[in-house]
Structure formats: structure tokens, C-alpha cells
Amino acid sequence: MSKINTKTNKENVKRKEPDTEKYELYHIKELDGIRAIFIIIVAWFHIWQQSWLGPVIGTYSFDWLVRNGALFVDGLILLSGFCLFLPYARSKVYGEKMPKAKDFYLRRIARIVPSYLFAIILVLIVFILPNHEYQSLGFAIKDILSHLFFVHNLIPEVMMETKILGVLWTVGVEMQLYLIFPFVAKAFVKKPIITYVAMVLISLLSCYLISSIFYNINYSFWLNNTLTFFCVFANGMMGALIYVKLSKILSRKKYLEILFVIISIAMIFVFKAMCMSRMSYVHEQKWQIDFRYLLSFCFLAMILSTILASKWYRAIFNNKVMKFIAIISFNLYIYHQFIAVKLKEFKIPYWEGEELPNYTGNEEWKIKYVIICVVVTVLVATLTTYLIERPLSNRIKKLNKSKEV
């Protein structure tokens, strides 16, 4: 038996072309790096809102990037759709068994809930309740319960006036999408075009209705309605299917990889053009509603071309630094804005006078403030990831396995 295996292995080695590398179909490490970069830019945007530190390196200004940092939330939601649909795409293309809905929900709960609940409890006990930030018991109950049931983004009063971490509205959107995902994913596997078109139409109709009455509604609330993200999630799912299908008909070739490097870099310039368009639009938030579908295409092209590109280029997104940031990324996202606001509120670093230092143009304060924001955020994210998220997540998974046994 061992001789037969050895012979077979040698034959496989001979048949393998020297410049051929298989596509990764399970854990695509470059996606971790892309997620890390997207979250870094979102955090940069929120810290910039507090500091006004000019994003200039040498003579080049990244003002266009940081001012549009909020757009990368759409990129993160698309990335979520891509990663979650990957096993379903393998099921369709390679005949693998589809994940069970129960297993899907368990993994999402294990990934999201420990850090999410800990963050809510932490800010309530340490900041909100001791400082009597709630003006009424009724709103306090509404704010807390809506967050516990992941529907806070559906309630205008809570969405606009929450005392809990403001960035958590995205978790509400994600959890609502997760709730229907196993059923949508199965439909996508059976009828990809029909399901895709249905999701996009729902989203485009929602965006159109909001855009048509934009100035007569609370647009800050309706802008991020879950239905408007259906097209973003659908493009992520379709992207995963395209990638897996390409893996079956293509092998990595140097000329193809170089082509994808060029496309990936080109998409950065396309995104910059979209940012410039947004800043010159009649209203920046209305632009997001009007162009959310096209923006998601830009992110999809950026993601696909990056993971299909040359190995040296993919190394930018697949390295130890990016891996670490990806590991702590959820907690980095949860805490960065809150930490930035509280540091400024507590005058850290200290400044004199009543006028805010970003108003007075205190450049020294801006630099110190940004450095402290980054250090504290990374420290908090690291501690909560390794002391809270990972132990509790593993515990949830082990409890499920013990029940199955």
C-alpha cells in the first residue's frame, strides 16, 4: 500500500506545473488583512472627527480617504457576506455538504455575543449609570433592551440618542442579516441569479424610497436601514461564488496574478474617484443611499482582485501584523470611537482653556491625542479579545459539542 501511495504522489508532482498554486477555498488569509485595513480606516475616520489632525504624509494628503472612512462599513458588510457564503459556494461548485443552520447560528453567537455583551455591561456600569446619563427610566429600558435583542438600529430614538456605544448599530444590521442568512444562502445555492436579483431589488427599492423623501425624513436614521444593505450582502455572496467557480476553472498563473494586481490598484483609484464624487454631491449621506450598490461593486472588485493577485502583493494583507489586527478587529471596532470621545471629554492629553484644542489648531495636542487613542484602543481591544472574547467563545463551542456527544 505504501509503495502505491508513493508512486501516486510522484506522478502528481510530475504533473504539477511549476508556476501553479492552488486557490485557498477555506480560510483565505488575505481577507483577514483586508478586514483589518477596513476597520483601521473606519477607526481613523472616527478619531479624525475628534482630533482634526490633517492626514498628510509628506506633500500628499489622504484627506479624501479619511473623510470617507465611514464608507468602509459597507465594505465590512460585503466582506461578511463573502466569508459566510464561502462554504455554501463550495457546496454548489464542489458538492460539499452545506453547513447546518444550527452550527451557523452557534458560530455567530460565539463570535459576536461575548464581546458585545461585555462592552454593553462595561460602559453601563463604569460610565453611563454612575454618571446618571439617562434622563428617563423609560428610555434607559428601551436603549438597553433594544441592544440586547439587536434591534436598536430599527428604533429612531435609540439609533440617534443611545448612550451605549454608537458603533453598535452595525452589529444590529449584521445580526438581522445573520438571522435570515441560512435560508437565503440555501436559496442562493439553488437559484443564485433569482435570489441575487431579489435581494438587489429589495435593496434598490428601499434606497430609492429613502432617497425620494430624503429631506423630509430623519435621513441619519434611515440611511443605514438593514434593507438597504441587502445589495451589499448579495454582492458579497455572489463574489464568493465567483471566486470558488474561478478556482475550478483557473490555476494561478503569473500573468493572471499580475493582471489582478493591476486591477486591485486600479480599484483604489476608482474608489478615490467615488470619494471625490461623494464630497461634491448635494449631500454626502444621500450619496451613500444613491450609490450604495455601485460602491459595493467597487469593494467586491477590490477584494476579488486582491485575493487573486501575485503572492508578493497578497503578502501586504497576509502577514503577522495583519493577522494580529484581524484577531482583535471586532473589539477594536467596538471601542475605538468610545475611547476617542472619552479621552477628549476627560482632557487626555490635557489642554488649557475652554475652547477645544482641535478648534484652536493645537497641532501638538492633536498628535499626542491620536497616539494615545491608538495605544489605548489597541490595548483595550487586545485585553478584551484574549481575556473575554476568546475564552467565552471557546466555552460556547465546547458546550455545544458536549451536548452533541
The C-alpha atoms of residue 160 and residue 61 are separated, in whole angstroms, by 32
Q: Which domain holds residue 386?
A: 27-404
Q: Give the percent of the chain with pLDDT over 90.
A: 85
Q: Is beta strand 56-57 parallel, antiparallel or unpaired with respect to 60-61?
A: antiparallel
Residue 397 has a pLDDT of 83
Q: How confident is the model at residue 398 (pLDDT cuts 50, 70, 90)?
A: confident
Instruction: Dump the DSSP string for 214-273.
Output: GGGS-HHHHTT-GGGGHHHHHHHHHHHHHHHHHHHH----HHHHHHHHHHHHHHHHHHHH
Residue 403 has a pLDDT of 58
Pick from 111, 42, 101, 114: nearest CA to 76: 42
Please report whether residue 228 resides in a domain.
yes
Please report whether residue 260 resides in a domain.
yes
| 236, 79 Cβ separation under 8 angstroms | yes
| 179 CB-near residues (< 8 Å, 6+ apart) | none
Q: How confident is the model at residue 404 (pLDDT cuts 50, 70, 90)?
A: low
The C-alpha atoms of residue 299 and residue 268 are separated, in whole angstroms, by 9
| 313, 97 Cβ separation under 8 angstroms | no
pTM metric for this prediction: 0.91
Cβ burial of 94 (10 Å; 0-12, 13-18, 19+) is: exposed
Taking only the tens place, the pLDDT of each residue in 235-245 is 999 999 999 99
Please report whether residue 3 resides in a domain.
no
Instruction: Dump the DSSP string for 35-98.
Output: HHHHHHHHHHHHHHHHH----EETTEE-HHHHTTGGGHHHHHHHHHHHHHHHHHHHHHHH-PPP
Q: What sign results for the dihedral spanned by CA atoms 316, 321, 327, 331? A: negative
Please report whether residue 6 resides in a domain.
no
Cβ burial of 364 (10 Å; 0-12, 13-18, 19+) is: exposed
Looking at the structure of the chain, the number of domains it has is 1
Please report whether residue 20 resides in a domain.
no
CB atoms within 10 A of CB 147: 24
Residue 400 has a pLDDT of 67
Please report whether residue 32 resides in a domain.
yes
Please report whether residue 21 resides in a domain.
no
Span 281-299, average pLDDT:
96
The C-alpha atoms of residue 266 and residue 285 are separated, in whole angstroms, by 25
Please report whether residue 10 resides in a domain.
no
Taking only the tens place, the pLDDT of each residue in 357-378 is 999 889 999 999 999 999 999 9
